[in-house]
Chains A and B, each alone.
Chain A
Amino acid sequence: MSGTWMTTRAWLLMLPLLVIMVAVIGWPLVDTVRLSFTDAQLVGTAGNYVGFDNYANMLTSSNFTRTLVTTTWFAVISVAAEMVIGVLAALLLNQEFRGRAVLRGLMILPWALPTVVNATLWRLIYNPEYGALNAALTQLHIIDDYRSWLGEPGTALAALIVADCWKNFPLVALIALAALQAVPRDITAAALVDGAGPFARFRFVILPYLAGPLMVALVLRTIEAFKVFDIIWVMTRGGPANSTRSLSILVYQEAFSFQRAGSGASLALIVTLLVTVLAVAYATLVRKTAGSAA
């Protein structure tokens, strides 16, 4: 069979997928770019061309700066915690003990729990009047009075991060565990014979096997965390006093609550650009890590 026919046939088989993808991703993205240069409203007016006004307004608004800082904090701390706890859990699950298979099976539960259910569950746990956290901490005499964990700017973001970590560290743990199980036994045994201590073994024997898969997990989790919407929307809606507002929530408010489609679109593209820069930087890092591990 000729190569040209093979290629033509491949394109024909791809066609339905590509048509749908252009319709639901390609066109909306291009249209977002167009909208971002207009003052269009969500409903009604198509809007006029306003040049870079939307971008200038957004980038200079204190809302944007503050939200960017909040989102960055959320992403950095939750992802860092997920990676550390995930790797520790994987090292534990890689040991031999009774019930290990069951525990490994349990790790799938938080991952499988729908994000909205997770958010709802933690919202109930943090409830200021009847929540389990307040009850447990008072009964253990750690705090004297019930607190509004999600209602105070000082604790709301931390409370969200805990809820996010609980759902996502098991995924990191499962990925790390799969990588750990690929470490050949005789290599760790040889390192042991050579007198390497536990930290040296982790750093020089195990980590090279973990680095690649962990980098991939890090990239995906960071991108996810930067785009965060669901868990924050359900738990705090960005409050109190906008202290937990993420970039995605700011876009939602701008484009849908205030119906300013044009400026919402410009903000969405700024967020997209940030995520893209992050992803490209990471991809370079991944390639380097993969190269050095090989």
Chain B
Amino acid sequence: MERKSPVFTAFIHICAILLAVVILAPLAWLFVMSISPAADLAAKPLRWWPQAADFSRYAQLLSRAENSAGAAFTASLRNSLEVAGMATLAAILLAVPGGWAVSRTPSVGWSLSMVIATYMLPPVALSVPLYMGLSYLGLLNNVFGLALIYLTILAPFTTWLMKSGFDSIPREIEAAAMIDGAGLLQTWRIITLPLAAPVVATSALFAVLLAWDEFFYALLFTSDQRAKTLTVAIADLAGGRVSDYGLIATAGVLAALPPVLIGLAMQRALISGLTSGGVKG
């Protein structure tokens, strides 16, 4: 082993602290803004730490009083949950049979490759016909319509993850069940799906993250509280005439909380998924 000089060790520690500060400082500031009184945020010189922590903005955004900032926020929160939930469920229902088929019958794999290749497509290349189509179907500004569109992103990705997952389950186990007389559905129920459950869960969480993060289609296809998602609501806040920056920060903290918690809880699975699948920028 290499012997580390004290200078080298000190250098490593300084770099580590620097990296931690770079990562944490912006996030910490987002949180501090959310609990600082408006006067502190407008003070010059800026007050970096609030004299008294003020959590009232959280209550304000999560209240459902009519015509308040809270009403718009909670509506968008609900829409985001609904769209992400529906799109994820649909993506998994498509991905499980599709991924299994490609894994067990590689000769149909080219069709999945074509689907994956659409990852390159900029969403703008699909947006005009999708807008016209949704408009024709009366699905503009509608959570079902948006969830359907999200399948353009979620379905290829989850199918790819499921295919890799099924690849790691030996066919011999399935073959043994079939020899014992189990049909396809029974084999899936008893053997394949229980073994694939962790991959299904990982895929679903990835899908939720992708849907939660999505902005472009939501911006185009939603217009009011009936369907606007969190990302659009926050962009509205950031670009609007809100004078209390703390309120914008609070909305950011609340919107970031679910994906950040998912990210921290699933670190290991996410990292291995990222390094093998490697999608999502």
A: which residues have CB within 8 A of B?
Answer: 6-7, 9-11, 13-14, 16-18, 20-21, 24-25, 27-29, 31-32, 35, 42-43, 89, 92, 95, 97, 99-100, 103, 105-117, 119-125, 127, 129-130, 132, 135, 138-139, 166, 168, 170-171, 174-175, 178-179, 189, 192, 213, 216-217, 220-221, 223-227, 229-230, 233-234, 237, 247-248, 251-252, 255-256, 261, 264-265, 268-269, 271-272, 275-276, 279
When the two chains form their complex, are residues A135 and B46 in contact, meaning their CB atoms are under 8 A apart?
yes
Contact status of A14 and B98, CB under 8 A, knowing A223-B120, A256-B220, A275-B120: yes
When the two chains form their complex, are residues B125 and A272 in contact, meaning their CB atoms are under 8 A apart?
yes
Which 10 pairs between the two chains have the least Cβ-Cβ distance?
A112-B263, A224-B281, A135-B46, A10-B105, A31-B129, A13-B101, A17-B98, A28-B129, A10-B101, A13-B97
A18 partner residues in chain B, CB cutoff 8 A: 98, 111, 115
Contact status of A113 and B125, CB under 8 A, knowing A14-B108, A92-B12, A279-B120: no
Query: Looking at the complex, which one of A7, A227, A255, A275 makes contact with B108 (CB distance below 8 Å)?
Result: A7
CA distance A28 to B149 in the complex (A): 11
Expressed in whole angstroms, the minimum distance between the Cβ of B15 and any Cβ of chain A is 5
Q: Chain A interface: which of B22-30, B51-59, B60-68, B196-204?
A: B22-30
Q: Main SS of the interface on chain A? A: helix
> Taking each of A7, A16, A168, which has the highest tally of chain B beta carbons within 10 Å of its own beta carbon?
A16
Query: Looking at the complex, which one of B29, B128, B213, B239 makes contact with A35 (CB distance below 8 Å)?
Result: B128
Expressed in whole angstroms, the minimum distance between the Cβ of B1 and any Cβ of chain A is 7
When the two chains form their complex, are residues A175 and B252 in contact, meaning their CB atoms are under 8 A apart?
no
Expressed in whole angstroms, the minimum distance between the Cβ of B168 and any Cβ of chain A is 17
A92 partner residues in chain B, CB cutoff 8 A: 12, 15-16, 19
When the two chains form their complex, are residues A120 and B275 in contact, meaning their CB atoms are under 8 A apart?
no
A112 partner residues in chain B, CB cutoff 8 A: 209, 256, 259-260, 262-264
A110 partner residues in chain B, CB cutoff 8 A: 23, 27
Known contacts A116-B231, A275-B120, then 13 further A-B pairs from the complex at CB < 8 Å, ordered by chain A residue: A14-B102, A28-B129, A31-B129, A97-B13, A110-B27, A114-B213, A117-B255, A121-B249, A122-B26, A129-B42, A130-B42, A130-B245, A271-B122
Smallest Cβ-Cβ distance to A178: which chain B residue: B275
When the two chains form their complex, are residues A106 and B24 in contact, meaning their CB atoms are under 8 A apart?
yes
CA distance A116 to B97 in the complex (A): 33
- Please tell me if B118 contacts chain A, counting CB pairs below 8 Å: yes
B216 partner residues in chain A, CB cutoff 8 A: 229-230, 248
Contact status of A233 and B256, CB under 8 A, knowing A31-B129, A108-B270, A220-B281: no
When the two chains form their complex, are residues B121 and A25 in contact, meaning their CB atoms are under 8 A apart?
yes
Within 8 A of A (CB), among B81-128: 93-95, 97-98, 100-102, 104-105, 107-108, 111-112, 115, 118-128
B: which residues have CB within 8 A of A?
Answer: 1-2, 9, 12-13, 15-16, 19-20, 22-24, 26-27, 29-30, 33, 41-42, 44-46, 48, 93-95, 97-98, 100-102, 104-105, 107-108, 111-112, 115, 118-133, 135, 148-149, 151-152, 155-156, 159, 184, 209, 212-213, 215-216, 219-220, 230-231, 234-235, 237-239, 245, 248-249, 251-252, 255-256, 259-260, 262-264, 267, 270-272, 274-275, 278-279, 281
CA distance A248 to B125 in the complex (A): 9
CA distance A19 to B154 in the complex (A): 15
CA distance A251 to B128 in the complex (A): 10
Expressed in whole angstroms, the minimum distance between the Cβ of A91 and any Cβ of chain B is 9
Smallest Cβ-Cβ distance to A273: which chain B residue: B125
26 A-B pairs within 8 Å (CB atoms) are namely A11-B108, A16-B97, A27-B129, A28-B125, A28-B127, A35-B129, A89-B19, A97-B16, A103-B20, A113-B27, A115-B213, A115-B215, A115-B231, A116-B255, A130-B41, A139-B45, A168-B281, A171-B281, A227-B123, A230-B231, A251-B122, A251-B127, A261-B132, A264-B128, A272-B121, A276-B120
CA distance A125 to B28 in the complex (A): 12
Across chains A and B, the number of contacting residue pairs, with CB separation under 8 Å, is 287
Contact status of A192 and B15, CB under 8 A, knowing A14-B111, A114-B231, A171-B281: no
CA distance A99 to B44 in the complex (A): 36
Expressed in whole angstroms, the minimum distance between the Cβ of B153 and any Cβ of chain A is 10
Expressed in whole angstroms, the minimum distance between the Cβ of A112 and any Cβ of chain B is 3
CA distance A230 to B219 in the complex (A): 10
CA distance A158 to B129 in the complex (A): 34
Smallest Cβ-Cβ distance to A188: which chain B residue: B2
When the two chains form their complex, are residues B248 and A124 in contact, meaning their CB atoms are under 8 A apart?
yes
When the two chains form their complex, are residues A108 and B267 in contact, meaning their CB atoms are under 8 A apart?
yes
Expressed in whole angstroms, the minimum distance between the Cβ of A132 and any Cβ of chain B is 6
Contact status of A233 and B235, CB under 8 A, knowing A17-B115, A18-B111: yes
